[in-house]
Amino acid sequence: MLTVLKAGAVLFVAFLNLFLGIAVLLRNTKKPVNRIFAVLAFVFFVWSSSLFFYEFPLIINSLFWIKITYTMVASYISLVLLFSFVFPIFSSRRLRLLGIVTGVAYVTSSIWLIFFTKFWVVDVVVDAMRGKQTILGPLYNLWIGLAWLITFWAVINFFLKSRLVTGTQRIQMHYFWIGFVLFGIFVNIPDVIIPAIWNDTRYFFISAITNLFFSATMAYTILKHRFMDVRLVVARSIAYFLLIITLGFIYAAGLFLISSLFTKEVTTTSDLIASTALALLIAFTFQPVRTFWEKATNKIFYKNHYDTGEILYALTQTMASSLELSALIQNALAILREHLHISQAVVYVLDEGKIYLRESSPKKSSNFHLEKQDLEKLHKEYKLLVFEELAEDNIKEIFRQHQIAIFLPLYVKQQTVGFLVLGEKSSGNIYYEQDLMVLQIFAPEFAIALQNAQSYEEIKDFNKTLQEEIKKATLDLQQANTKLKELDQLKDEFISIASHELRSPASVAKNYLWMVLNDKNKLPTETASQLEHSYGAVERLITLINDMLDVSRIETGQIKINPTSFNLNQLVLKIKDEMSLKAQTKQIEIAVSSKNNYTVKADRDRVFQILTNLVDNAIKFTSKGGKVNINTQKMKEKIAILVSDTGIGIKDKDMPRLFTKFGRLNTSLSSVPEIPGTGLGLYISKKLTELMGGSLRVTSVFGKGSVFIVLLPGS
Amino acid sequence: MDKKQKILLIDDDTDIQKLYKLILTDAGFIVDIASDGAGGLTKIQSGGYDLVLLDLMMPNVDGLQFLNTIKNNPPRAKNGPIVILTNMSLGSNIVRQAMGLGIESFLVKADLSPGQLVEKVKNFLNPTESKEEKTTGKKD
């Protein structure tokens, strides 16, 4: 009996090892960890199988099988060494190489020693007292010593790595240590210590079973990605183990006592062990078998049985996932009907004092619906009403009339949200305690869910209204904008036409005056002077019309700038030409430096206009014999045109008004005649420069002169 | 100059007509007048004008319509360049449209003194000097 058990266990473990090896290898065929473990598990498989054949030499003989077994042991030691170089992280290449070399050397020498000499294993004999015994050779202990050295090296590797790793890998190491230590103990005791001290080799088979400790824990750490707490695993394992021992001991002791006291029969050790094993089997299968039979009988006796937990879970899920009122009620009612087998169900929802029928299940009979007064009557008590429990009064009558079985008010805090009204069960049964409990747990949650759904609807409605208001407002805005644009357009057309109308008579007057003034017949001085003033006035009028047109266009953004790249020197020379007449009249010299020739990117006509304005001003505000200079310079990435004069300059307090509309200088110097001008020139010049991406600045010393600087983008 | 050069002036303003006819005849040109685009079209068919001075704002057929008609049906007789002579501003729509219809240049009446007008006309008729950058008249 015992031997059968022994054999069974060993074989079982063998195949378990094989299975683990395959499982780990299948998970990932590429990783070295998986591969080495697979080989290790295979080695364990062969180890356990060969020990089985050692005990039951069905083919060949025990000596052969024990030699195989030892070969496997040597192999696994090398493999563990190799393993220590790749788990949980790789060691350096050199070390790995060293490990491989050592391992291979050890295995090869072991095989030679085992199979081709008698230094290791001598023979297998059967001892009458102690069963099968292996006679070990003289070098056996030396080999064991080497094995321990190698294992020690592996342990050092593992230990060093334990200290390096963190996180998941650290937990992997914990599991590894447990498996390894257990394995170490349960291998060395029967295979090394007992043979060495008591010269007894009959417990070899234990190590064939306990190698599972190591392979199982290693498989677990390699395969799983999330680990249970090691302490938990260890605690539970120990508890389980103790449970087995306790139960086994109680049973075995009990059996022994009973048999020796009552039956006077000698129970053999093998019988004792067998029956103890059976008792343990019963103990551990009790719970699962019981559950199975309970479920089976439930199916027969409790056809309509449902799990309270299940229905509440389903209801909670629905309430959490439905935000829309109709869907919420429909789904909840569907679940109730399905589990409780109710014929009809209705939910009434309160909305600002009014009661609305919201969603009922199909198959409603016409008189199932309640009127508002009825609902209020039922509602007075604020609690769950069950038909069977009602006293005979008008409330019960209402129930009977409308075939109602349950009335359930739904409220949050003190506020009523609605009512749940259930009809009879389709089976005709009453509502059981379990059903009522479910309903009472469900009611408050449902009330809250309904309230939320109502709020959600309100928000949706509000949102819609908001959207429409926004759309309307945007439309209004767009219309206003279009109107404004039209107005701007009209304004501009008006200005264009007005300026055109004003210019026509002005040009006629100007021309005739000119012709008179240039007539070959000389005019009397007095007449000539008067006519000259008239001519000047008409010219100023025309300039003013032009300026006002410019200002209007600037302010409505109608100015179009056509930037081109052109040379400044040419333009400056042209200006000098155009202004030379005016300058000569006041004996002012215009000096132009053509040292540099810069190219700018701007609107040529506008630059001409601006420079004309500045030079004109320079001449106007400089007294007889003065000087006007036009220079060009490079300032960072921009080109500067400097118009400087030796005129009267600008006072600091007048600076702010300089570039504003009609911001003219008030010269208090009575000696200077009133200087004509529209007061718009500088404003226009500044705006135009800015439109071209430049700027207009001035520095001045009162009484000495001014410098106007135009900055324009270079090309 | 062997014979006198002929200029066609198309403008509805009678003051302008009288004024410019006076100025240009004094300067030695022959001046023909048309009061609107229609009259101008008729006159231009006979051809032989060395320069056409065209106003834009006119009743009946205005300057733009005149230019469009010329563009689509060029007169068989040969004529000189067309120059816009107006008091509209450069930035206005009408002027911009005219610019794209094959005119030679653009003058603003109010900005010209008689002397300047004559000088510009001479330039259009006899571009002897090396072409200066075509300024399209002063300001707008």
> Strand pairing partners for A223?
none
C-alpha R_g of chain B = 14
Q: Is the pLDDT of residue A155 over 70?
A: yes
Cα torsion angle, A582, A588, A594, A597, sign: negative
Q: Is the pLDDT of residue A483 over 90?
A: yes
Q: Between these two residues, B66 and A126, which has the higher pLDDT value?
A: B66
Of A46-50, A163-167, A314-318, least confident by mean pLDDT is: A163-167
C-alpha R_g of chain A = 55
Q: What is the pLDDT of residue A509?
A: 92
Let me know the angle formed at the C-alpha of A499 by A493 and A502, rounded to the nearest 5 degrees. 140
Residues 6+ positions from A422 with CB-CB distance below 8 Å: A336, A340, A342, A344, A345, A404, A405, A406, A407, A408
pLDDT in tens, B121-139: 998 888 765 444 444 444 3
Q: What is the pLDDT of residue A361?
A: 60
Q: Are the C-beta atoms of B53 and B85 separated by less than 8 Å?
A: yes
| Option in B91, B114, B138 nearest A514 (CB) | B114
Q: Is the pLDDT of residue A184 over 60?
A: yes
Residues 6+ positions from A483 with CB-CB distance below 8 Å: none
**Mean pLDDT of all residues in A347-361:** 73
Chain A interface includes B109 (CB < 8 A): yes
- Chain B residues with CB-CB distance to A608 below 8 A: 135
Residue of A nearest to B18 (CA): A508
Identity of the highest mean pLDDT range in A468-472, A511-515, A699-703: A468-472
Q: What is the pLDDT of residue A265?
A: 64
Q: Between these two residues, A541 and A351, which has the higher pLDDT value?
A: A541
Residue of B109, B129, B136 to mutate, interface with A, max A Cβ within 10 Å: B109
| Option in A505, A510, A560 nearest B113 (CB) | A510
CA distances from residue A224 to A161, A182, A443 in whole angstroms, order as listed: 20, 21, 43
Q: Is the pLDDT of residue A439 over 60?
A: yes
Helix pair angle (A525-555, A681-691), 10° resolution: 40
What are all long-range contacts of A493-502, with beta carbons under 8 Å and residues at least 24 apart? A495/A548, A495/A549, A495/A552, A495/A553, A496/A549, A496/B88, A496/B89, A496/B92, A499/A545, A499/A546, A499/A548, A499/A549, A499/B87, A499/B89, A500/B57, A500/B86, A500/B87, A500/B88, A500/B89, A502/A541, A502/A545
Q: What is the pLDDT of residue A612?
A: 92
| Option in B91, B117, B132 nearest A553 (CB) | B91
| Option in B111, B132, B140 nearest A549 (CB) | B140
Chain A interface includes B100 (CB < 8 A): no
Please report where in the chains the tokens 């005019």 appear, as a residue.
Answer: A523
Chain A interface includes B119 (CB < 8 A): no
Between CA A69 and CA A50 the distance in angstroms is 6
pLDDT in tens, A186-214: 888 888 788 778 877 777 778 888 888 88
The pTM (predicted TM-score) of the whole model is 0.44
| Option in B16, B88, B113 nearest A500 (CB) | B88
Q: Between these two residues, A662 and A184, which has the higher pLDDT value?
A: A184
Q: Is the pLDDT of residue B91 over 70?
A: no
Confidence of residue A372 (pLDDT cuts 50, 70, 90): confident
Rounded-to-5 percentages of helix, strand, coil across chain A: 65, 15, 20
Task: Give the gap in angstroms from C-alpha A495 to the nearest C-alpha of chain B.
Answer: 10
Q: What is the pLDDT of residue A229?
A: 65
Task: Give the gap in angstroms from C-alpha A672 to the nearest C-alpha of chain B.
Answer: 28
With a pLDDT cut of 90, the percent of chain B lying above it is 24
**Mean pLDDT of all residues in A671-695:** 80
**Mean pLDDT of all residues in B10-28:** 91
Chain B interface includes A512 (CB < 8 A): yes
Confidence of residue A473 (pLDDT cuts 50, 70, 90): very high
Between CA A293 and CA A301 the distance in angstroms is 12
Residue of A491, A494, A504, A564 to mutate, interface with B, max B Cβ within 10 Å: A504
With a pLDDT cut of 70, the percent of chain A lying above it is 91
Q: What is the pLDDT of residue B132?
A: 46
Mean pLDDT score of chain A, rounded to an integer? 82
Q: What is the pLDDT of residue A671?
A: 39
Tokens of A363: 């198959």
pLDDT in tens, A40-79: 888 888 888 888 887 777 777 777 888 888 888 888 888 8
**Mean pLDDT of all residues in A508-537:** 87
| Option in A503, A515, A558 nearest B109 (CB) | A503
With a pLDDT cut of 90, the percent of chain A lying above it is 12
Q: Is the pLDDT of residue A154 over 50?
A: yes
Q: Are the C-beta atoms of A687 and A603 separated by less than 8 Å?
A: no
Q: What is the pLDDT of residue A670?
A: 37
Mean pLDDT score of chain B, rounded to an integer? 82
Task: Give the gap in angstroms from C-alpha A688 to the nearest C-alpha of chain B.
Answer: 12
Between CA A621 and CA A618 the distance in angstroms is 5
Between CA B132 and CA A244 the distance in angstroms is 116
- Chain A residues with CB-CB distance to B98 below 8 A: none
Residue of B88, B89, B138 to mutate, interface with A, max A Cβ within 10 Å: B89
Q: What is the pLDDT of residue B86?
A: 87
- Chain A residues with CB-CB distance to B136 below 8 A: 605
Q: What is the pLDDT of residue A607?
A: 92
Q: Between these two residues, B138 and B37, which has the higher pLDDT value?
A: B37
Identity of the highest mean pLDDT range in A229-233, A352-356, B78-82: B78-82
- Chain A residues with CB-CB distance to B62 below 8 A: none
Tokens of A177: 């240590």
Tally the C-alpha atoms within 13 A of residue A686's C-alpha that lie toward its C-beta. Answer: 15
Rounded-to-5 percentages of helix, strand, coil across chain B: 40, 15, 45
Of A363-377, A459-473, A505-519, A563-577, least confident by mean pLDDT is: A363-377
Of A94-103, A358-367, A682-691, least confident by mean pLDDT is: A358-367
Tokens of B116: 């300047």
**Mean pLDDT of all residues in A343-349:** 82
Residues 6+ positions from A67 with CB-CB distance below 8 Å: A114, A115, A121
